[in-house]
């Protein structure tokens, strides 16, 4: 599933060009072809088309794992979920591929295609993105999200740290890859209870999350899903899906456990079970 670095990479490409695609900013929408009805969460297709055709895209941003396409009036939000991808095509618009769910054509002949083999991805049109993004937690890079606030939030809960970091209402944008890699970087055992972390550990963990995400973004995300194109971060994994391989720091074999129904990878020596004083 695309996580913050993959979504950010897609957002930057849509905004400025990249991944072999051109920017969609300033293009004006000419037509809409919805090829899988449930892809469009709201409103109904007739209303969606009426409200976006003739309108211009002014910016593309991200909140958590949501892509926010700003129009001169309203916002199109896209959540890629398991397997979604957005690509921009040059004119003429190609014949639809098997998993193309929504095709937006621009007046200049370019197209924006939402492709989603597993059909879990969703698209919304709204005047208020927060109506769709709901109660998302803080953005990891938001500087008002301080180590002190992070520590307080950790201590308000009593959950496995791995599960809590996956909870989008606790912090936005993280998924299985970047949580495992961040916990390794911070030297914290994934099944530690969140309220047992010291202020120093909370500090270290927030820094590790930011560095790991930044590293992911700098490598254009991770291409482990056959649908996500162009990432290199899979070559930088130190624990994620590295079960049995030697830890790059201490040489111990990386282990896999299940935490909150998610496969979790860690180094038993670098991430000891006990509370680190």
Interface residues with Zn ion (CB under 5 A)?
A: 247, 249-250, 252, 267, 269-270
Task: Rank residues 55 and 269 by Cβ distance to Zn ion and give the closer one.
Answer: 269
Distance CA 100, CA 226 (A): 15
Q: Which is nearer to Zn ion, 90 or 249 (CB)?
A: 249
The nearest distance, CB 99 to Zn ion, in angstroms, is: 40
The verdict on whether omega for the bond into residue 27 sits within 30 degrees of 0, i.e. cis, is no
Shortest Cβ 188–Zn ion spacing (Å): 13
Q: With respect to Zn ion, which residue has the nearer C-beta, 206 or 267?
A: 267
Q: In angstroms, give the least distance from the CB of 182 to Zn ion.
A: 15
Residue 268 bears catalytic tag: no
140 as an active site residue: the answer is no
Strand ranges in the chain using DSSP code E only, listed in sequence order? 29-34, 40-42, 57-63, 66-71, 75-79, 85-89, 100-106, 111-115, 122-126, 255-259, 262-266
Least separation, in Å, of the C-beta of 239 and Zn ion? 9
Q: Which is closer to Zn ion, CB of 127 or CB of 252?
A: 252
Measured on CA atoms in the order 56, 138, 147, 274, is the torsion positive or negative?
negative
Whether 262 is catalytic is yes
Closer CB to Zn ion, 169 or 252, in the complex: 252
| Residues sharing a CB contact under 8 Å with residue 46, sequence separation 6 or more, in sequence order | none
- Long-range (24+ apart) CB contacts under 8 A made by 127-133 are 127/73, 127/74, 127/75, 128/75, 129/63, 129/66, 129/68, 129/75, 129/77, 132/41, 132/66, 132/77, 133/63, 133/64, 133/66, 133/77
Is-catalytic flag, 65? yes
> Annotated catalytic residue: which of 51, 236, 256, 262?
262
CB atoms within 10 A of CB 25: 16
For the bound state, the minimum distance from the C-beta of residue 266 to Zn ion, rounded and expressed in Å, comes to 9
Query: By Cβ distance, which residue is nearest to Zn ion?
Result: 247
Active-site annotation holder among 2, 5, 140, 190: 2
Catalytic positions: 2-3, 65, 262
């Amino acid at each position: 599933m695309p996580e913050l670095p993959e979504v950010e990479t897609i957002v930057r490409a849509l905004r400025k060009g990249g991944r072999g695609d051109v920017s969609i900013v300033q293009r004006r929408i000419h037509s809409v072809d919805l090829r899988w009805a449930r892809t469009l969460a709201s409103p109904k297709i007739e209303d969606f088309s009426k409200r976006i055709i003739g309108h211009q895209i002014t910016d593309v941003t991200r909140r958590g794992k949501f892509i926010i396409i700003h129009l001169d009036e309203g916002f199109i939000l896209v959540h890629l979920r398991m397997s979604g991808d957005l690509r921009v095509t040059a004119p003429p618009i190609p014949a639809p591929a098997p998993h193309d769910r929504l095709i937006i054509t621009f007046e200049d002949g370019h197209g924006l295609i939402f492709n989603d083999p597993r059909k879990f991805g969703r698209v919304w049109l709204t005047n208020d993105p927060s109506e769709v993004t709901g109660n998302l937690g803080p953005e990891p890079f938001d500087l008002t999200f301080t180590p002190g606030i992070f520590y307080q939030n950790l201590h308000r809960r009593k959950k496995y740290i791995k599960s809590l970091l996956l909870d989008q209402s606790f912090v936005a944008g993280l998924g299985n890859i970047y949580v495992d890699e961040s916990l390794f970087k911070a030297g914290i055992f994934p099944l530690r209870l969140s309220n047992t972390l010291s202020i120093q550990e909370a500090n270290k963990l927030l820094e590790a999350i930011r560095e790991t995400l930044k590293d992911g973004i700098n490598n254009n995300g991770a291409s482990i899903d056959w649908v996500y194109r162009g990432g290199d971060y899979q070559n930088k994994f130190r624990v994620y899906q590295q079960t049995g391989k030697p830890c790059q720091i201490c040489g111990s074999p990386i282990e896999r456990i299940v935490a909150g129904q998610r496969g979790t990878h860690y180094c038993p020596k670098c991430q000891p079970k006990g509370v680190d004083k």
